[in-house]
Amino acid sequence: MPLNCGIVGLPNVGKSTIFSALTRAKAEAANYPFCTIDPNVGIVPLPDPRLDKLCEMFKPRRRVPAVVEFVDIAGLVKGASKGEGLGNQFLSHIREVGMIAHVVRCFDDPDVIHVAGRIDPANDIEVIHTELALADLETLDRRLDKLQRQLKVQDPNLRKETEKEIVVLTRLRPALEEGRPAFTVPLEPEEAAYARASFLITMKKELFVCNVDESGVHGNAYVDTVRRIAEAQGSEAVVICGKFEAELADIEDPDERAQFLADIGLEEPGLATLAHSAYRLLGLRTFFTAGEDECRAWTIRAGDKAPAAAGVIHTDFEKGFIKAEVYHFDDLVAYGSEAAVRAAGRMRQEGREYVVQDGDIMFFKFNV
């Protein structure tokens, strides 16, 4: 699965404004549909107070945060699955991302055109879900046709696997016909693997982003509607005021940024919440390396073992992996120094089967 997040939604819901604030790279934004045609890609540093603390303690020459890749995809409209607007092109971009950040307009403003002529978050979400489901239905039917022909092969093992996949895809088809996402169909882990093999858009995890105006930063009736929908499908919803976030992104002074947030009653930027939610829903975790030369946050998948984590740094580390010295960030804070952690017996040697934990600080030993 790709380790990136696609920002999708109807035209004029604030996708490009939010993307620009995330990346501090000004994507083209305008008050008309389809101003974004090619997907903009931005690499966003992940805010992490743990890395800040490591830098405070080790005083390294370089600080390198973990990152999240966001892709700003142009607005979908009703009929996109049939090529309306620039539907086919946009849908292909969505297939290439690891998860979806679905921006929903949750503010009233007569000066900003709504493609449907009214503000209705539930309907907006339904339009996107329906178009993605119909696009998946075409994909699924093509895959089923190929699998039916594959049943004629002589290899009994291949035929057995093909039959299993056909059963799963056939179970998904009624939901897609009704315009419901594939992930709403309960599947066992093995069955879900067959579904993902067809690269269905609606099997991707979805995070709702409620774009509000200045009066809605602490919620409103539109946000409540989105949260109910998110909860019903086992998703999450975050609230962002695109206008505030764009202004905040232009403020360099930390004290001025803190005062700006305090003035609007927020403890942290909404975009920080978005980045963390996307990172978590992508199934990503962070381990650290720390020293005088560099303090760095490294990204792995949840469940990765020590050799795979070593390979994130360099492929030679994974090939020649011997062992890893490991201690946890919480222990470093509790004992005050790496030497104290070692003296307390909290630093340990781990082998190839060790599952790396979020917040581990690691030093790898290898031989090539």
pLDDT digits (tens, 9 = 90+) for 29-45: 444 444 444 557 888 88
**pLDDT value of residue 272:** 87
- Residue 303 — pLDDT band, cuts 50, 70, 90? very high
- Residue 300 — pLDDT band, cuts 50, 70, 90? very high
For residue 337, give the 3-state DSSP assignment: coil
**pLDDT value of residue 249:** 83
Dump pLDDT digits (tens) for 316-366. Answer: 999 999 999 999 999 999 999 999 999 999 999 999 999 999 999 999 999
> 179: Cβ–Cβ under 8 A, 6 or more apart, which residues?
126, 129, 130, 133, 134
Yes or no: say if 208 and 238 are a contact pair by the CB < 8 Å rule. yes
Structure tokens at 157: 């093992």
Yes or no: say if 275 and 44 are a contact pair by the CB < 8 Å rule. yes
- Residue 26 — pLDDT band, cuts 50, 70, 90? very low
More confident residue, 124 or 32: 124
Dump pLDDT digits (tens) for 69-115. Answer: 888 886 665 654 455 444 455 677 788 889 999 999 999 988 887 77
Dump pLDDT digits (tens) for 135-158. Answer: 899 899 999 999 998 888 778 888
**pLDDT value of residue 157:** 85
Let me know how many helices (H) and strands (E) the chain has, helices first.
14, 12
- What is the value of pTM for the model shown? 0.84
User: Quick one: which H or E segment has residue 160?
Assistant: helix 156-177
Lowest pLDDT segment from 251-260, 289-298, 320-329, 333-342: 251-260
Structure tokens at 60: 């390294």
CA distance 84 to 36: 15
How many other C-beta atoms lie within 10 A of the C-beta of residue 198? 19
In terms of Cα–Cα distance, which of 315, 325, 247, 316 is closest to 290?
325
Domains of the chain: 4-48+66-281 (3.40.50.300), 303-366 (3.10.20.30)
Dump pLDDT digits (tens) for 214-236. Answer: 899 998 999 999 999 999 988 89
**pLDDT value of residue 33:** 43
With pLDDT > 90 as the criterion, what percentage of the chain qualifies?
53
Structure tokens at 254: 């930390």
Establish how many alpha carbons lie within 13 A of residue 315's alpha carbon, considering only the half-sphere containing its beta carbon: 0
Q: Rounded mean pLDDT of the chain?
A: 87
**pLDDT value of residue 151:** 85
Dump pLDDT digits (tens) for 154-171. Answer: 788 888 889 999 999 999
Phi, psi of 305 (to 5 degrees): -95, 170
Ramachandran sector of residue 85 (left: φ over 0; alpha: ψ -120 to 50; beta: rest): left
**pLDDT value of residue 35:** 43
**pLDDT value of residue 307:** 97
**pLDDT value of residue 75:** 64
CA distance 176 to 168: 13
**pLDDT value of residue 57:** 96
**pLDDT value of residue 89:** 56
